[in-house]
């Protein structure tokens, strides 16, 4: 069967299911009118879907076959995904989808110091570039850009780090790491996440900085130092500060947005070579705290500093949604849609990267599982590589975006 045909069948099946589903939902609506007192938690959540069950919802309509990378390119945007080397190298169909949809490729863990099962820094003296080299090769083969993630991250330090690195030698280690890794890929990397997740308000530092070994050993200037070293090693790469928890209208995110703005201002005022903010964008379909105005204002403040903005790790967790697949897919798609609409209004947003591409491979099954044990559906393609409503939502967001 051609891909086009199976795509059509997929869409048709969905439309058919939708009709029966809608009938069911409407009868649920009648039930609700009798009083919510009879409804359990799941049924209450289904009511959210009544609100979403709009036959005109853009994301249920397939916008045609043009790939996401092409739709993005049409607006001078870049679209791509973070992918694991082990999965990409073993799964041909997946590799095909990745090459078809993505204009930029990010190793999900090949360039972190150490994330099981892959260790870039097996010993204090050595580097193992197998995964990252392979990913770069794949990217070049399919004319994709390549992105580095990440040079400094408190969560990816290897076992030997604790007993080896101290305040006397920390600078040397940071310097050696950044120089070696960045120089190796010099001229071939679109952008580097130089520092990842350096802010944690609850750690109590006056500027909201996270208490990491680097902060302890080198003081708060470790961030600026990392940017300077990266710039020296590859003057053409776009250098990014990347963080999560910046998206929602909740006190925690508000505090983090303020701390990020403060950090960015400080780096800029000191002339540090920082070029963009990376907003991870791990969204939660169960949450309702997205406030377009708050988010828009934040993006504008970042843009006003002369920085670009990249959406670097977009996915939508359906951990707390009802089990029904169609309900989940709709709410996930709507979440993508609402978020990207606001993000892409801002001309400083240059790039959209999802954290994975297919539900077959998502970190969320491990890190944010559902309590009923069902597998998550947070991404753009289903486990068979078929485009979901979420794919439609992103495609339509690119189509509607103002050109850069």
The catalytic residue positions are 197, 313
Q: Tell me how far, at minimum, the Cβ of 39 lies from ligand XIL, in Å.
A: 35
The site for ligand XIL, by CB under 6 A, has a size of 8
Tokens of 194: 């130089």
- Among 59, 62, 336, 363, which residue sits at the site for ligand XIL (rule: CB under 6 A)? 363
Q: Tell me how far, at minimum, the Cβ of 227 lies from ligand XIL, in Å.
A: 17
Binding to ligand XIL, residues 242-271 (CB under 6 A): 244
Nearer to ligand XIL, 10 or 368 (CB): 368
Pairing of strands 308-317, 276-279: parallel
Q: Tell me how far, at minimum, the Cβ of 264 lies from ligand XIL, in Å.
A: 18
Q: Is residue 196 near ligand XIL by the rule CB under 6 A?
A: yes
Q: Is 18 exposed, middle or buried (0-12, 13-18, 19+ CB in 10 A)?
A: middle
Q: Is residue 313 near ligand XIL by the rule CB under 6 A?
A: yes
Q: Is residue 351 near ligand XIL by the rule CB under 6 A?
A: no
Q: Tell me how far, at minimum, the Cβ of 364 lies from ligand XIL, in Å.
A: 9
Q: 113 φ, ψ to 5°?
A: -55, -45
DSSP labels for 52-121? H--TT-GGGS---S--HHHHHHHTT-EEEEEE-HHHHHH-HHHHHHHHHH-SEEEESSTTSSEETTEES-
Q: What is the separation of C-alpha 48 from the centre of its chain, rounded to a whole number of angstroms?
A: 25
Tokens of 397: 């967001």
Cα separation values, 3 from 38, 60, 206, Å: 45, 19, 55
Binding to ligand XIL, residues 271-290 (CB under 6 A): 280
Q: Tell me how far, at minimum, the Cβ of 208 lies from ligand XIL, in Å.
A: 18
Q: Which of 138, 45, 8 is nearest to 331 (CA)?
A: 45
For the chain, give the longest Cα–Cα distance.
71
Q: Is residue 227 near ligand XIL by the rule CB under 6 A?
A: no
- Angle of helix 222-233 relative to helix 251-269, nearest 10 degrees, comes to 60
Q: Is residue 192 near ligand XIL by the rule CB under 6 A?
A: no
Binding to ligand XIL, residues 30-89 (CB under 6 A): none
Binding to ligand XIL, residues 99-138 (CB under 6 A): 108-109, 115
Q: Which helix (H) or strand (E) is 324 found in, with range?
A: none
Q: Which of 236, 81, 57 is nearest to 144 (CA)?
A: 81
CA distance 291 to 387: 28
Q: Tell me how far, at minimum, the Cβ of 6 lies from ligand XIL, in Å.
A: 29
Binding residues (CB under 6 A) for ligand XIL: these are 108-109, 115, 196, 244, 280, 313, 363
């Amino acid at each position: 069967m051609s891909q086009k045909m199976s795509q059509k069948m997929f869409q048709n099946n969905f439309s058919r299911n939708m009709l029966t589903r809608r009938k069911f939902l409407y009868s649920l609506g009648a039930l609700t009118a009798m009083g919510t007192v009879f409804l359990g938690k799941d049924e209450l959540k289904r009511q959210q879907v009544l609100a979403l069950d709009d036959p005109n919802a853009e994301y249920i309509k397939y916008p045609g076959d043009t790939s996401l990378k092409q739709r993005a390119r049409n607006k001078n945007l870049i679209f791509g995904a973070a992918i694991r080397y082990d999965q990409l190298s073993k799964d041909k169909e997946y590799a095909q989808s990745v090459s078809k949809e993505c204009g930029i490729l990010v190793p999900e863990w090949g360039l972190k110091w150490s994330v099981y099962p892959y260790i870039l820094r097996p010993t204090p003296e050595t580097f193992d570039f197998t995964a990252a080299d392979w990913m770069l090769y794949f990217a070049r083969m399919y004319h994709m850009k390549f992105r580095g993630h990440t040079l400094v991250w408190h969560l990816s330090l290897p076992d030997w780090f604790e007993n080896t690195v101290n305040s006397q030698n920390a600078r040397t280690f940071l310097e050696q790491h950044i120089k070696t890794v960045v120089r190796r890929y010099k001229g071939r990397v679109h952008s580097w996440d130089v520092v990842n997740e350096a802010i944690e308000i609850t750690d109590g530092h006056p500027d909201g900085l996270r208490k990491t070994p680097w902060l302890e050993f080198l003081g708060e200037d470790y961030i600026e130092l990392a940017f300077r070293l990266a710039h020296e090693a590859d003057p053409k790469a776009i250098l990014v500060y990347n963080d999560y928890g910046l998206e929602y209208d909740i006190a925690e995110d508000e505090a983090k947005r303020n701390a990020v703005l403060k950090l960015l201002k400080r780096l800029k005022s000191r002339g540090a070579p920082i070029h963009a903010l990376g907003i991870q964008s791990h969204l939660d379909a169960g949450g309702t705290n997205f406030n377009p105005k708050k988010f828009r204002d934040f993006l504008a403040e970042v843009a006003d500093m002369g920085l670009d903005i990249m959406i670097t790790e977009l996915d939508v967790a359906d951990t707390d949604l009802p089990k029904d697949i169609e309900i989940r897919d709709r709410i996930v798609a709507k979440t993508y849609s609402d978020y990207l609409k606001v993000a892409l209004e801002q001309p400083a947003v240059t790039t959209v990267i999802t954290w994975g591409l297919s539900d077959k491979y998502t970190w969320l099954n491990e890190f944010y599982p559902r309590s009923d044990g069902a597998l998550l559906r947070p991404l753009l393609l289903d486990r068979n590589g078929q485009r979901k409503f979420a794919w439609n939502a992103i495609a339509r967001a690119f189509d509607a975006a103002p050109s850069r």
